[in-house]
Amino acid sequence: MSDVLDYPYLQRACFFGIKLGLKNISEVLKSCGQPELSFPSIQVAGTNGKGSVCAMLDQIFRTNGFRTGLYTSPHLADVRERIQVNGQMISEQDLKRILAEIEKKEKKLKASGLIAGSLTYFEILTITALLYFQEKKVDLAVLEVGMGGRFDATNVTKPEVAVITTIAYDHQQYLGNSLEKIAFEKAGIIKEKTPCVCGVKNRRALKVIKNKCQQVKAAFIPVCGQGRTLSWTETGEGLVFSYKTRSGSYQFKPSLAGRHQGENAATAIATTEVMGKLGWKLEKDKIIQALENITWPGRLEIISSYPLIILDGCHNEEGARAVSEFWQSRIKQPGILVFGVMKDKDIEKIARWLFPLAARVILTKPPMERAASGEELVDRLKRYRDKCLIIEEQVPSAMRQALALSGGQVPVLVAGSLFLIAEVRKFLEYYKKATRQPCQ
């Protein structure tokens, strides 16, 4: 397992923070021969669901026999998770080798004055992914936008299709304080005459995206609308979806839980239909097979059945609402909530959806400087004192407390930051080995 600490160049870049703009990364890629233009790609932006849609598209194209590259963020356990070819993480050796090449390029370009300042952590990993995909001669790369879109490092590419999943409030300090401003930033991935598949429902945000498509003469393809509909039925084994398009009908039960994953699957299917019109041969049976066999850790992930432990990195209101809908329709009983989130998030709105699901709430702090402490959470969530808020700053202590309160009977929900989910997954692996408890 690799950590950022294993790669000094990456570790140093963590201190440079977020820098919006494409000049530095464009110059470095130019000096590398522009690997981003050496393979076709699909670029996926959105507030929520973009990682799941990327994973679905990767699985669909692999199931249909294509060699794929997948670039996502953040990672849960190993930084190499972010860069995969045909479902396999980049090796430590390849990652170190490519990082060394990029570091040399950066020093040379800084010395010549072609770039100002240092590359950011995300820029370095994006360049690494693009170089690696070129080396491995992928048939197609699926690229998840990190934040926004217009100035995101992945926006140096020229994708076959641009996908925008949802628009909601998140990262307002960078993207703006209105849905229109956020939509404008995310619509920045739409290139001249590049089809745009859009799952956005909010009318104000949708208008911005449609306007961008008109400006650049890009085809606008709504996931629902213009002859495309998504419906679902509740069964004893979960939700079964029916997605009907002008080209046919798809019946499927996604392996990823929650109604929102059916919507994400519809977004992936709509994208495959556009790709089909561009000459990519994809079989409907294999598309459905891929959707029903995908795994994507940390998204309504059932990690244990005794006791029932569910993990979800819902770090904004829209994500928390999806968790609430799932819990109320499938679990149907109060649980123990372990909650931790970054201090710059809209904590009150997230809590409004999550806290009613719990009889007891344990507040903890992911091991990040940006994370809110237990005391900060209590101060901002005073209205939930009836939930018997418990502060356990250390994630392992919080989980031990949750398991003790559960008694093997009460379900446990771990929700908030994906950094929290990563720590809990590590703890549970250790817990199972150390105690031999039936947490499985």
For domain 301-435, say whether CATH 3.90.190.20 is its number: yes
- What's the angle, vertex CA 302, arms to CA 297 and CA 308, rounded to 5? 150
The mean pLDDT value for 133-156 works out to 95
Class of domain 4-291: alpha beta
d(CA 409, CA 58) in angstroms, rounded, equals 37
The per-residue pLDDT for range 171-196, each reduced to its tens digit, is 777 777 899 999 999 999 999 999 99
pLDDT, tens digit, for every residue of 87-103? 999 999 999 999 999 99
Mean pLDDT score across all residues of the chain:
92
Nearest to 125 by CA among 75, 83, 70, 68: 83
Instruction: Output the 3-class SS for 246-308.
Output: CCEEEEECCCCCCHHHHHHHHHHHHHHHHHHHCCCCCCHHHHHHHHCCCCCCCCCEEEEECCE
Q: Go through the chain and tell me how many residues it has.
A: 440
pLDDT over 70 for what percent of the chain? 96
pLDDT at 17: 67
What are the tens digits of pLDDT across the range 2-48?
A: 566 578 888 887 766 677 779 999 999 999 999 999 999 999 999 99
Q: Which two tokens stand for residue 65?
A: 């026999």
Between CA 182 and CA 52, with CA 229 as vertex, the angle to 5 degrees is 50
**Residue type, position 374, single letter:** G
438: its two tokens:
């039936």
Lowest mean pLDDT among 112-121, 131-140, 264-273: 112-121
Domains of the chain by residue range? 4-291, 301-435
Lowest mean pLDDT among 294-298, 358-362, 430-434: 430-434
- CA distances to 50, 410, 434 from 358, rounded to whole Å, are 28, 10, 28
Beta bridge partners of 274: none
d(CA 127, CA 80): 14
